[in-house]
Amino acid sequence: MFWPYLKTLLAEFRDDTRGSFMVETVISLPLLFWTICATYEFFEVHRYKSVREKATYTIADMLSREQAAINDVYIDNTKALFDTIANDTGDNQLRVTIIRYLEADDEYGVVWSEVRGSGRLNPLDDDDVANDHAKLPVMDDGEQLILVESVSNYQSLFDLVYSSAISIETRVFTSIRFSPQLCFGSCTS
């Protein structure tokens, strides 16, 4: 006796169309809101990364054209330029490294490395790059290249998609263009 009555109630509930707009709204509105926020958040992360990649390429290109020795003030201003291009004064960190390849040892070496900003990046030394053949490009004996790396932390806007900060890392290699070497402080032959 109970089952036929329950079947009748469920059939009436299924066929009843009164108030269905409100029920659909209550169910779908939070899902729609989350979808819009997630779409915006995904777009913003890609925009954030793209801007930092462009800023890193600009810094690498600027350094590759430099013909005079650079100093601490130059590197400080390079970091300020990076922040300006990225339109961000947050926790950005920039590392500029000159790497030389020595064919006799089949190893890479660091000529100099400078870091600006606070974070996890440290200046590179010879041990860090000596056998990084998989990460560094093929070079001629004695050739130098500029490695510019940046690290930024993206803070989520809504905390719906990403609950913690995302580390955005960029890495750009470029050759020195107009001089045989890019010196820090003073040039020696």
> Cα–Cα distance between 30 and 34 in angstroms, integer?
6
Which of 146, 182, 136, 151 is closest to 61 using CA atoms? 146
| pLDDT, tens only, 118-174 | 889 999 998 888 888 888 888 889 899 999 999 998 888 777 667 778 889 999 999
Region 41-67 average pLDDT: 93
Q: Is beta strand 166-175 parallel, antiparallel or unpaired with respect to 144-154?
A: antiparallel
Which of 151, 139, 133, 128 is closest to 176 using CA atoms? 139
Which of 49, 46, 67, 45 is closest to 57 using CA atoms? 49
For the whole model, what pTM was predicted?
Answer: 0.80
Examine the pLDDT at 19 and tell me if it is beyond 70. no
Min mean pLDDT across 12-16, 26-30, 98-102, 113-117 is at: 12-16
pLDDT at 188: 67
- Domain-by-domain residue ranges, the chain? 2-175
pLDDT at 180: 82
What average pLDDT does the structure give for the chain?
88
Examine the pLDDT at 62 and tell me if it is beyond 90. yes
> Cα–Cα distance between 43 and 85 in angstroms, integer?
19
pLDDT at 157: 79
Region 33-51 average pLDDT: 91
Which of 23, 150, 26, 174 is closest to 88 using CA atoms? 150
- What are the C-alpha distances in Å from 130 to residues 53, 98, 137? 26, 13, 13
> Cα–Cα distance between 47 and 117 in angstroms, integer?
22
Examine the pLDDT at 26 and tell me if it is beyond 60. yes
> Cα–Cα distance between 17 and 135 in angstroms, integer?
63
